[in-house]
Chains A and B, each alone.
Chain A
Amino acid sequence: MDETNTSTYHEIRFHGRGGQGAVSAAALLSLAAFDDGFEAQAFPKFGSERRGAPVEAYVKISTTAIRRHNQVYQPDAIVIQDQSLLKSIAVFDGLKAEGFVVLNAEQLPAEADKLNISRRQWACVPADHISEALFGRPLPNTVLLGALVALTHWIQLTALEQAISHHLASKGESIVNKNIEALQAGYRSAMQTMEDVA
């Protein structure tokens, strides 16, 4: 797609396991992108969901209306919510040459060197650890969304904060606040790792 000043188009693929909220994260990202003035599409890998099974979800963000409803084959970024997937799913398949990777991990995995992805394109964030401190159990998805924004700046963090406030409102103020904190923590953590690399 065009990379001129006036139009942008990005595709993001989320990898997770059923029950970890990968699909919700994709939906939330598309809501935030929409609120931030973009056109967006989000959809899960179509099929039946099972607890614990690998899932994928996709987001397309564009400045112009997205007319087609095709799958995502060459994402500009991937978000990996569960490190164990690296062993069983070809998570990096199709990732564009300058693509970004957000990974829920304490540090870069061994495989990273074999891939042709520059350090500057990675954000490794200990999202389980961060979310556990906030929610009492690992809920990495919002943390990783913050990291994605830090890495790509494709949408504003405030748009995600607003999307959380608005669309999670029914779960109560406490949940909303914790999710915003998780988002910001993920953002800060990713910014930190990028500074370390720079």
Chain B
Amino acid sequence: MDKRDTFRPNVLTSGHRACSGCGEAMAARMVTDLIGPNAIYVNATGCLQVFTTHNQQSAWQAPWIHSVFANAAAVASGVEAALRARGDPTPVVVQAGDGGTFDIGLQCLSGMIERGHDVLFVCYDNEAYMNTGVQRSSSTPHGARTTTSPPGRLSQGKHHFKKDVLSIIAAHHMPYAATATVAYFPDLKAKVEKALSMQGLRFLQVLSPCPLGWDHEAALSVSVSRLAVETGLFPLVELEYGSVTGVMRLAQQRPVEDYLKVQGRFKHLFNSKEGAVEVRHLQALADRRIQHYGLLDTPTEWDTLRATQVQRHGRGGYPVMGEDTVQ
């Protein structure tokens, strides 16, 4: 019996307690609406879990379970094993933040991937432990201010680089891994649908701006996520079995300052020469990513129909002259 509210049949319905402008709430609504209520959702501890299931209430209109911070992937493995034993094809979806994916959750995630469970793992990446008060995670970008990587006389914010979790995931050579973000909905949609059409372990990392932790106006969440992509700091890519099979090309590269300057978490980089050095590091990082994924390149063999696992231009990318020509 469908018990969903007829006015709001979304899997993630209204009445939850996310901050205004929350990129994660936006991303979760998008993703779960695409997956639908006929799935089992396993959630790690984090913002999404906290703001949707506060104090005896729930905003979920689909089966949903939360255990502890580290084990969402292991719990999901268990759900999947049970469904498999019972011959039940209902999809199993994990939702975790960057903490539950990059850090405390990495072990269970790796285990789940290695064992080849048929699960879709979605990481809503807001780049810090937000709901406990903005402490750094390994996903926090280099130079960002958090409460445990504060700028100070001896510090310019987070010292280490954002962990390249996609490469770690890719090294498991599993069916599908992709990055997406809220500013590019058609791209996100295509990737979710692609993931749903496949078997085995599928991984999505969705960059989710956090107005509170990133320190920007709530209304700017979508445009901030767009800037992350346009600067090359967060490339939108797809990998299958460890190899890159699609990227969203950039029509042009924006300088990283465009992205950094709209967020208070980077503002300390703009009032000292040490900060300026860090900005140059971030630019170098962006340049490197663009180069690595060929985001500014003219179409390569990735775009030919001869390659067996190929996606033309990635999803929602900028069209290139002569794209309809088959070589």
Contact = CB atoms under 8 A, between A and B. Distances in A.
Nearest to A51: B19
B50 interface: yes
Give the dominant DSSP class at B's interface: loop
Nearest to B18: A50
Contact of B50 (A48, A51, A52): A48
Interface string B13-29: 00001111000000000
A50 B218 CA distance: 12
Contacts of B51: 50
A66 to B, nearest CB: 26
What band does the interface of chain A fall in when counting residues whose beta carbon is under 8 Å from B? under 10
Nearest to B51: A50
Nearest to A18: B19
B17 A51 contact: no
A50 B17 contact: yes
Give the dominant DSSP class at A's interface: loop
Contacts of A48: 50, 131-133
Interface in B45-89: 50-51
A155 B24 CA distance: 45
Nearest to B218: A51
A51 B131 contact: no
Contacts of B211: 51
B19 A52 contact: yes
A48 B211 CA distance: 16
Interface string A47-87: 01111110000000000000000000000000000000000
A64 B18 CA distance: 42
A52 B219 CA distance: 14
Nearest to B20: A52
A101 B19 CA distance: 29
Contacts of B131: 48
Contacts of B132: 48
A11 B218 CA distance: 35
18 contacts: A48-B50, A48-B131, A48-B132, A48-B133, A49-B133, A50-B17, A50-B18, A50-B19, A50-B51, A50-B212, A51-B19, A51-B20, A51-B211, A51-B212, A51-B218, A52-B19, A52-B20, A53-B17
**Nearest 3 A-B pairs (CB), nearest first?**
A51-B19, A50-B19, A51-B212
Interface of A: 48-53
Given A50-B19, A52-B20, 16 more contacts: A48-B50, A48-B131, A48-B132, A48-B133, A49-B133, A50-B17, A50-B18, A50-B51, A50-B212, A51-B19, A51-B20, A51-B211, A51-B212, A51-B218, A52-B19, A53-B17
